[in-house]
Amino acid sequence: MAEEVKNVAPANFKVTIDNITVEVAPGTTILNAARQIGGDVTPPAMCYYSKLEGSGGKCRTCLVEVAQGSEKDPRPMPKLMASCRTTVMDGMVVKNITSERVMDARNGVVEFLLLNHPLDCPICDQAGECYLQDLSYDHGTEGTRFEFKKRIFEKEDIGPYIQLHMTRCILCYRCVYVADQLTDKRVHGILDRGDHAEISTYISKAIDNDFSGNVIDVCPVGALTDKTFRFKNRVWFTKPVDAHRDCPTCCGKVTLWNRGDEVMRVTSRRDEWGEVQSYEDKPGWICNTCRFDKKKTSDWVIEGVTNINRHSVIAQNKYNGLVMPKETIAEVMGGRDPKLLMDIHDVSGVNDPSIDLSLIEGPATSKTFTPTPKGE
């Protein structure tokens, strides 16, 4: 009688990254193995997105040094490897932040990403949650060696809710993968080649499917922005809260970005790697109705304050455990109240509580505010 063949799961591989050993399943990439460790050991990733099949291998920011290929073949790999595309082997030894080669290469990659990138962080809606901004702080240089004319594109409306700033784009392809995998027919993609490559729609066709807003969430820079939120507020002035609603189209689980009682914008919930959260092993993409049409707190069931990394600028001034500084004005002035020289509400209507910034169309301008005459 022939022996029955039993399906035995392969044993986990042991991989060491920056002197920290972790066990992972065969087929796991170096990047995802590093994410199991977390912290600074994890290489940055500007193009890889675990919820998008086929993503990665474009930006090269996740390059690592493989000092030992495996236990059976301990030879090092001669070149730096993209950790989002390289799978681990049993006994592999990887260097990330402990390798001078990796740090030097990463500095060079960031310099290339910033060659054509405009210095418009003060007016960019992505500021404060931009991964390229974080990367440039860690690996960028004070100046540029680029002496040629920068690549510049005109702003383009690629749908009723989305504006494209191609000059900021780093060609990560995330938005293309979203359109391919969430919609029946993609109408935008990469046109041209080399330095002329750009994201655009075919013959200026608008992106108007029910899940088009998700391209805004996956964009790591400010290339794709929410037109309903443009110039309305800064993310660090808003308070993100988790909320949900019974939506027939999507999961209905979102993050509301509030300023007072106003809902300034709605986004999908994000995990610690900045990717959309998964529910029952399915990505929590949200539809355009939830994202753009439901801008009142009464439309949602509020669950609580969103958990934000304490090092993020978004977490400043609004979360639990804050110790407020002692007020010293009274002591300095001998108990007297400070003299009010000007009341901003008397000379400007910018803080007029009757104006709901989340409901106006387009960016707020001086014409939006009509100062209320004093005494009325």
Same domain, 128 and 221: yes
The verdict on residue 285 lying in a domain is yes
Q: Is the pLDDT of residue 210 over 60?
A: yes
Q: How confident is the model at residue 144 (pLDDT cuts 50, 70, 90)?
A: confident
pLDDT in the model for residue 1 = 42
Same domain, 57 and 148: no
Same domain, 17 and 91: yes
Average pLDDT over residues 7-31: 88
Residue 195's CATH number? 3.30.70.20
Same domain, 253 and 179: no
Q: How confident is the model at residue 353 (pLDDT cuts 50, 70, 90)?
A: low
The verdict on residue 322 lying in a domain is no
Same domain, 23 and 101: yes
pLDDT in the model for residue 9 = 58
Of 22-31, 179-188, 208-217, least confident by mean pLDDT is 179-188
The verdict on residue 375 lying in a domain is no
Q: How confident is the model at residue 348 (pLDDT cuts 50, 70, 90)?
A: low
Q: Is the pLDDT of residue 184 over 80?
A: no
Of 348 and 231, which is predicted with more confidence? 231
* Residues 6+ positions from 260 with CB-CB distance below 8 Å: none
**Which of 136-150, 181-195, 208-222: highest mean pLDDT?**
208-222
Rounded-to-integer distance, Cα 360 and Cα 24, Å: 50
Closest residue by Cα to residue 121 from 111, 131, 112: 131
Q: Is the pLDDT of residue 366 over 80?
A: no
Same domain, 151 and 190: yes
Strand partners, 201: 188
Q: How confident is the model at residue 217 (pLDDT cuts 50, 70, 90)?
A: very high
Share of the chain above pLDDT 90, in %: 44
pLDDT in the model for residue 140 = 82
Same domain, 271 and 244: yes
Same domain, 205 and 244: no
The verdict on residue 22 lying in a domain is yes
Q: What angle do CA 157, 163, 167 make, to 5 degrees?
A: 105
Give tens-digit pLDDT for 52-97.
998 999 999 999 999 999 999 999 999 999 999 999 999 999 999 9
Instruction: For residue 32, count other CB atoms closer than 10 A to its CB.
Output: 19
pLDDT in the model for residue 223 = 92
Average pLDDT, whole number, for the chain? 84
Number of domain units in the chain:
3
Give tens-digit pLDDT for 164-173.
999 999 999 9
The verdict on residue 157 lying in a domain is yes
Q: Is the pLDDT of residue 23 over 90?
A: yes
Rounded-to-integer distance, Cα 213 and Cα 266, Å: 10
Query: Which residue range forms the structural domain that includes residue 25?
Result: 13-108
Same domain, 298 and 247: yes
pTM, to two decimals: 0.77
Per-position b or e across 33-66, b if 16+ CB within 10 A of its CB: bbbebeeebbbbbbbbbbbbeebbebbbbbbbbb
Q: How confident is the model at residue 146 (pLDDT cuts 50, 70, 90)?
A: confident
Same domain, 93 and 183: no
Q: How many residues does the chain have?
A: 376
Give tens-digit pLDDT for 235-274.
888 889 999 999 999 999 999 999 888 899 999 999 989 8
Per-position b or e across 101-134, b if 16+ CB within 10 A of its CB: ebbebbeebbbebbebbeeeeeebbbbbbbbbbe
Residue 179 sits at φ, ψ, to 5 deg, of -65, -35
Average pLDDT over residues 287-306: 91
The verdict on residue 249 lying in a domain is yes
The verdict on residue 339 lying in a domain is no
pLDDT in the model for residue 46 = 93
The verdict on residue 6 lying in a domain is no
